[in-house]
Structure 1
Amino acid sequence: MLELQHVDAGYDATRVLHDVSLHGAPQGIAAVLGHNGAGKTTMLRTAIGLIRPTGGTVLFDGEDVTALPPSARVARGMAYVPQGQQSFEQLTTRENLQVVADRRRGARRAALVDQALGRFPALTEVIDRKAGLLSGGQRQQLAIARALITEPKLLILDEPTEGIQPSVVAEIEHTILSLSADEGLSVLLAVQHIDFALHAAQRYTVLAAGRVTSAGAGGAGAQDAVRQAMAI
């Protein structure tokens, strides 16, 4: 589904990613692990097109999308949920979902909002509350729900459970697993903590200082290799 081939990328003259390659699972979950500053967010921003690589190639569904802007990648089936539970704070939960649905064509717009709420039932309890008044966990659920309204083939999540209460973390993790297992959605997940990532992921990649230090199949058998690569 998503493939990065020998990618170099960064910000202005600062190079963050060095010869990074990644192979996402065609259907399933791929996890990118690493400590703060490892380059995980830069990798995801490069994948979605917010950063133009200075070297290497980004492929999506076998197509070279390296030169395409984010809007073109979204049109091809990518969706990106950045770190930080982003939303339109002055709009209600319903309005946040509707503003994305209104960009979709046809009669499915109302159904897409209903489907998003079905995946995160807790949002129905705050449907008319402004997003700026929601808890961090509710805002993160809203951010993921908004991304799902675009009906992506690939959902890219940057630290989706960071700073969120454990009960909501469990709900988000369950939704990620069900989207992949039941609906065939591909997920690229960037996290620091390895337990859920390796439990859920078919493939993993570990970054340190912008370089790949370990990669392979996920699962419990990968824990030793990942812990060694992350020096934990």
Structure 2
Amino acid sequence: MLEIKNVRAGYDRSPVLHDTTVTVPNNGVAAVLGHNGAGKSTLLRVAMGLLKPQRGSVLLDGEDITRLAPHQRVARGMAYVPQGQQSFPHLTTAENLQLVADGRSGGKAAIAEVLDLFPVLRELSARRAGLLSGGQRQQLAIARALITSPRLLLLDEPTEGIQPSVVAEIEETVLTLTRRGGLSVLLVEQHVGFAMRAAQRYYILEAGRVTSYGEGGADAEGAVREALSV
């Protein structure tokens, strides 16, 4: 689905990624794990076109999209949920969703579908996003991305700073979506249990380099935890 091949990228003259290669399976999940500063968010920014690599390439369904702008990648079915539970705080939950749906074919149905995935958002439809809890804002951020009907969803630390009950809801939503087919996910995550339950493939980044990778699944959790503890 997505291939990030031999990418070198960074900010100004400070390299962050060093010949990094990550592949997202079709209709599956690839999880990228690593400590803070390992280059995980930079990898997503390169994938989404927000940061141009100094060398290497990004391919979507075999098409080289390295030079495409972010909006062109969105048009090809990519969606990105950055860190920070981003929303328009002065708009209500319903207005945040409608803003994305406006002008899109099937926007009303898309809103209904994400509200089925995140029922709490229906209950909070009239509340301003700035008054939601961190977990509720994260669900709103993911819901906004899903309204675009992506084929590839990039999630950056979706469980960071969120209470365990909401982590479980987000995990179940990701698993539900990928089981349906038609959606691939590149997941940056520090919650190892969630990442391994969701992912068919994992990569561990250290100082911008892939130091370990393999098949995901619950059986891989011990090896991943050991690799991250080194």
Bin for the TM-score computed over the shorter chain:
over 0.9
Aligned AA for 1:184? G
Deviation at 1:226, TM superposition (A): 2.0
Aligned AA for 1:17? L
Deviations 1:163-196 (A, max 9, x none): 0111111111100000001243111110112111
Distance in structure 2 (CA, Å) of the matches to 1:15 and 1:189: 22
Q: Confirm or deny: 8 A CA contact 2:27 2:181 kept in the other structure.
A: no
Deviation at 1:224, TM superposition (A): 4.1
In the alignment, which residue of structure 2 is the partner of 1:10?
10
Partner SS for 1:117 = helix
Distance in structure 1 (CA, Å) of the matches to 2:146 and 2:137: 14
In the alignment, which residue of structure 1 is the partner of 2:228?
230
Deviations 1:80-108 (A, max 9, x none): 0001100011111011000100141x3x1
Aligned AA for 2:121? L
After superposition, where does 1:100-179 map in structure 2 within 5 Å?
100-104=100-104, 106=105, 108-179=106-177
Aligned AA for 1:70? P
Q: Confirm or deny: 8 A CA contact 1:81 1:158 kept in the other structure.
A: yes
Relative to the length of structure 2, the TM-score reads 0.97
Distance in structure 2 (CA, Å) of the matches to 1:117 and 1:227: 34
Q: Confirm or deny: 8 A CA contact 1:137 1:168 kept in the other structure.
A: yes
Partner SS for 1:4 = strand
Relative to the length of structure 1, the TM-score reads 0.96
After superposition, where does 1:189-228 map in structure 2 within 5 Å?
189-228=187-226
Across the aligned residues of Structure 1 and Structure 2, the Cα RMSD in angstroms comes to: 1.1
Unaligned runs of 5+ in 2: none
Unaligned runs of 5+ in 1: none
Distance in structure 2 (CA, Å) of the matches to 1:110 and 1:224: 43
Deviation at 1:231, TM superposition (A): 2.4
Q: Confirm or deny: 8 A CA contact 1:214 1:225 kept in the other structure.
A: no
In the alignment, which residue of structure 1 is the partner of 2:21?
21
Distance in structure 1 (CA, Å) of the matches to 2:197 and 2:125: 32
Percent identity over the alignment is: 65
Q: Confirm or deny: 8 A CA contact 2:159 2:191 kept in the other structure.
A: no
Deviates more, 1:42-51 or 1:219-228: 219-228
Deviation at 1:116, TM superposition (A): 1.3
